[in-house]
Amino acid sequence: MKILAVDEKRCTGCRLCELVCSVRHEGAADPARARIQIVKWEEEGVYLPMACRQCEDAPCAAVCPVNAIGRDPELGRVTTDHDLCIGCRACVSACPFGVLGFHEDRGKTFRCDLCHGDPTCVKFCETRALRYEEGDRVVAGRRRAAAARFRQAVAE
Amino acid sequence: MALNRRIAYVDLSAGSVEVRDVPLELRRKYLGGRGMDAYLLYNHVEPGTDPLGPDNALVLSAGLLSGTPAPAGARCQISAKSPLTGLLGSANMGGFFGPELRYAGFDHIVIQGRAEKPVYLWVHNGSVEIRDADHLWGGDAVQTQTRLREELGDPDVKVACIGVAGENQVRFACVRTGIKNAAGRTGMGAVMGSKNLKAVAVRGTLPIRLADPEGALGYLEELVDYIQSSKYAEIMGKWGTLFIFDVTNSTGLIRTRNFQSNQMPHSEDLECEAMDRYTMGMAACFGCTMHCRHKYVLPEGRFRGQYGEGPEYTSQGAFGTEVGAASMLGVLEANQLVNLHGLDTLEVGSMIGWAMELHEKGLLPAELVGDLDLRWGNLDAVIRLIDDIAHRRGLGDVLAEGPKGAIERLGPETAYYNIHVKGMSNLHSDERPTPSLALNIATSTRGADHLRSRPAIDLYHLPPKVLERIYGKPGLSDDYRVYEGKPWMVVWQERLYALVDALGVCKFQSVFLSPNMPKAEEYARVLRLVTGLEFTPEELMEIGERVTTLERLFNLREGATRADDDLPERYFTEPTPEGLPAVRGKCIDRDRFEAMLDEYYDLHGWDREGRPTPETLARLGLDAEPTRLV
């Protein structure tokens, strides 16, 4: 199963991901309604892209009073049935990562839908801080990098 | 949609704000950013206005593509009559301020008058408030932004502000945003200070609708791939502009010890790889895939433990070659201090380098020098002078007046040594071996400047066929040392850069340092997809011409003449002492320079005094200015 993987060390804070996400989903340059947003500690030069983590046991689904939130097993994503959604924002409150948005104009929530398996943000992320890849591959790179450091230390 | 952003007129004397729409006719003629700035300035600043008086207008304009996914759509322009030159003041700034201004519902803010007490503007989703800033006065240019974010309770607020240099009306104080971005040149920070305006804070959540979202995403993906496939993009992403030092110094195209040499020996500690010891990675401006800004924490020295960003090539020169020092740590410390104080790094370095040469030649009064040790390479003196300039103390107070004012204070015999055009210092570059670049700094609308018409790729010896493809004219020479054909290259670059500045995209992603970057063709397509406005590439280049010509009109109205389109005397009298054989022993030839200038005027449709002819004004639709359409 592929996931949207974030390597925050590679993020340059340009926010192009927010832009292209909002253009894709809203038809507008609209970072406030982007499904992915970069949280910044500007004074320290630290940037961290945040988007729905598509939880296996999703708190948003658990609190939904009308069972509008389900799982799409094929793409491994959490989905909202907007015909059922009553716009109560219980899911927005319950999300431990704060990555669900609420569209005031429409009275509905929004979240990352992985662009149905072809995330636009990933296509535009030049530094590859964002990748869309098999979940078990995501940490393999980090494991190898750590192993390389360990190997170096042992050699010294 | 992308064309519904408005214009706010703020009168700080009256405490009033008026919001108006921008007529589409003006968009079609000037786009936004620097284009609209030129229009608003020409229409709202009367000739003869005191740059530091209440009648001067400070104009902030986001580019028309700023805040959209156009490549590097990060930029905004800040303009006013310049307290440094008395002519056009105009400075371009990256970061995140311009886009946020548009999300807040505005493209332009025109600020006139003078507040009785320090104030800041709070611009938020269609409204502009004038707020008390007593508590912010005296704060540095980074701290002020942090405090405003805390005060307004939103970490995503973007701020353009001044440091103490702007408060003290240092004539080359800049406007700052983020950790290091600056509207650096022509003293726009001094104008803010003169208005008692400490900061403009913006935050917005209003969407910018795209004309063709799907088409835009498809084309922009292609365009980003094109930009990033360039070797130049890779180099910029790794070294930032620091790499330019290695190129120009090894050739002998750099200015060192003010203007005494064109190459610096033993300068390894200024070369881009010296930054490896300090960098912790790269940061980008809004929407930019190139990420040319270093992030660093100073590991030692005066500012140990402080976080900073940059430095640029300009600071390598300002606090390296100009002052005869070769220490990356020194560059970073000075960079840190100018950013906190809100000073134009380039102007500071040039003024200090000039002071050092004057001292060497015995032209500085001893009582002004005091206990300062102004020997070449003394970074302690450099740091102290930066502080003294910002606080207007002693010699620093004299230098704070900029080239024209300081020459007036120190005497006419000092003028020869100051490397300025129209009262603005030149980059630490040496244009004596490169006629095209010399013409560029002589004719730029804001004084000696490398960002308004520099045909930098003239240095690359590109084959004439390639030059023809870029510049649209056959027979251009591939030799940067000749005078023939260069005026056209300068005119072409002038139009492209004015266009790029009006669009609010970054010059680094146009034909500036690489021939393989977007031009009017690509921007015409982006504009159509994003805004729905249809232009041919030729029409866009004509907008660039219109903007430059209107800026020219502003300067002429303030009394500028052909004599202002000149080079510092030393360019004609002192041959370059160092460098590769191709650049050594070179001067600018006066007669050939004047011939280039004639041709440059002819290409514009200006008379031999540099005044646009009535036919030219009619062709560009400028014959009725000022029209005060908004």
Neighbours of A15 (CB within 10 A): 27
Contacts of B146 in chain A (CB under 8 A): 43
Which three-class secondary structure state does DSSP give residue B421? Answer: strand
pLDDT for res A138: 84
Tell me the whole-structure pTM to 2 decimals: 0.97
**d(Cα A119, Cα A18) in Å, to the nearest integer?**
12
Strands (E), B193-240: 197-203, 208-209
Contacts of B279 in chain A (CB under 8 A): none
- Interface residues of A toward B, Cβ cutoff 8 Å, are 9, 12-16, 19-20, 22-24, 26-33, 40, 42-45, 47, 120, 123-124, 126-127
- Which tokens hold the place of A55? 């939880």
Distances in Å between the Cα of B561 and the Cα atoms of A92, B408, B545, B555, B623 are 64, 20, 19, 8, 19
A45–B283: do the CB atoms touch at under 8 Å?
yes
- Which residue ranges of chain B lie beneath pLDDT 50? none
A32–B207: do the CB atoms touch at under 8 Å?
yes
B280–A29: do the CB atoms touch at under 8 Å?
no
| Nearest chain A residue to B216, by CA | A23
Chain B nearest-CA distance from A51, in A, is 17
pLDDT for res B1: 65
- Interface residues of B toward A, Cβ cutoff 8 Å, are 67-69, 96, 103, 142, 146, 155, 178-179, 204-205, 207-210, 213, 216-217, 220-221, 224, 228, 237, 280-289, 291, 295, 307, 309
A25 confidence band (pLDDT: 50, 70, 90): very high
What's the DSSP call for residue B393?
A: -
B67–A120: do the CB atoms touch at under 8 Å?
no
- HSE (CB half, 13 Å, CA atoms) of A142? 11
pLDDT for A27-70, tens place per residue? 999 999 999 999 999 999 999 999 999 999 999 999 999 999 99
pLDDT for res A132: 97
pLDDT for res A136: 85
Distances in Å between the Cα of B503 and the Cα atoms of A125, B279, B495 are 23, 31, 12
B68–A29: do the CB atoms touch at under 8 Å?
yes
Given a contact cutoff of 8 angstroms between Cβ atoms, the answer to whether B118 and B196 are in contact is: yes
Contacts of B101 in chain A (CB under 8 A): none
Chain B nearest-CA distance from A101, in A, is 13
B213–A24: do the CB atoms touch at under 8 Å?
yes
Which three-class secondary structure state does DSSP give residue B1? Answer: coil
A145 confidence band (pLDDT: 50, 70, 90): confident
- Which tokens hold the place of B377? 């390479």
Q: Which of A15, A105, A130 best probes binding to B when mutated, by most B CB atoms within 10 angstroms? A: A15
- Could you write out the DSSP letters of every residue in B481-530? T--TTHHHHHHHHHHHHHHHHHHT--GGGSSSS-SSS--HHHHHHHHHHH
**d(Cα B585, Cα B560) in Å, to the nearest integer?**
32
For chain A, the C-alpha Rg in angstroms (whole number) is: 17
- Please count the residue pairs, one from chain A and one from chain B, whose beta carbons lie less than 8 angstroms apart: 91
A26–B220: do the CB atoms touch at under 8 Å?
no
Q: Which of A14, A40, A106, A124 best probes binding to B when mutated, by most B CB atoms within 10 angstroms? A: A14
**d(Cα A55, Cα A61) in Å, to the nearest integer?**
10
Nearest to B493 by CA among B503, B501, B504, B505: B501
Tell whether the model's pLDDT for residue A156 goes beyond 80: no
Using CB atoms, pick whichever of B205, B220, B281 lies closest to residue A32: B205
Tell whether the model's pLDDT for residue A89 goes beyond 90: yes
Helix axes B213-228, A16-26, angle to 10 degrees: 150
Which value, to the nearest 10 degrees, does the dihedral of the CA atoms of residues B540, A27, B217, A37 take?
A: 110
In angstroms, how far is the first alpha carbon of chain A from the final one? 39
Contacts of B208 in chain A (CB under 8 A): 28-30
Instruction: Enumerate residues 6+ apart whose C-beta is below 8 A from B429.
Output: B248, B253, B254, B255, B317, B437, B450
Contacts of B506 in chain A (CB under 8 A): none
Neighbours of A100 (CB within 10 A): 21
- Could you write out the DSSP letters of every residue in chain A? -EEEEE-GGG-----HHHHHHHHHHHSEE-GGG-SSEEEEEGGGTEEEEE-----TT-HHHHH-TT--EEEETTTTEEEE-TTT-----HHHHH-TT---EEETTTTEEE---GGGGS-HHHHH-TT-SEEEEEHHHHHHHHHHHHHHHHHHHHH-
Contacts of A19 in chain B (CB under 8 A): 68-69, 287
| Nearest chain A residue to B221, by CA | A124
Given a contact cutoff of 8 angstroms between Cβ atoms, the answer to whether B457 and B514 are in contact is: yes
Nearest to B384 by CA among B323, B430, B311: B323
